[in-house]
A = this chain, B = another copy of it.
Amino acid sequence: MPYHSAPLDLAFHALSDPTRRAVVSRLVEGELPVSALAEPFNMALPSFAQHLKVLEDCGLIASEKRGRSRWCRLVQPRFEEAADWMEAERRRWTQRLDRLEVYLDNKEMGDDRQE
């Protein structure tokens, strides 16, 4: 399991901000020019650009210049890596709770028999 993964550190750090999560969420629907991406946020463009830089540095998004606009898109592997980590832990947890339930059920039946 990749516990000591700098990319994961950076990805989770990037997702710890509501503006950056909202950017990810918009780009899930498809690529967008920075101007359109920035529009719903009540934020100066340099501050918004700083958030995009955090997302780009950690590999969650990529951008490219097309004519006079810069377009952003989500990059799947980094997002999948973070989502996979969460899901793997959730699955282990659910499995443990299931085992615990079976154990308690069996114990209860055993207790019933002894009464």
Spell out A's residues near B (CB within 8 Å): 1, 3-5, 8-13, 15-18, 21-22, 24-25, 28-30, 74, 76, 79-80, 82-83, 85-87, 89-90, 92-93, 96
Contact = CB atoms under 8 A, between A and B. Distances in A.
Interface SS of A by simple majority: helix
B80 A90 contact: yes
Contacts of A25: 1, 3, 89, 92
B3 A9 contact: no
Given A79-B90, A89-B24, A18 B1 contact: no
A22 B3 contact: yes
B83 A28 contact: no
Nearest to A23: B3
Given A28-B96, A86-B87, 16 more contacts: A3-B18, A3-B25, A9-B16, A9-B17, A9-B18, A10-B16, A12-B13, A12-B16, A12-B21, A16-B16, A25-B92, A28-B89, A28-B92, A30-B96, A80-B90, A83-B87
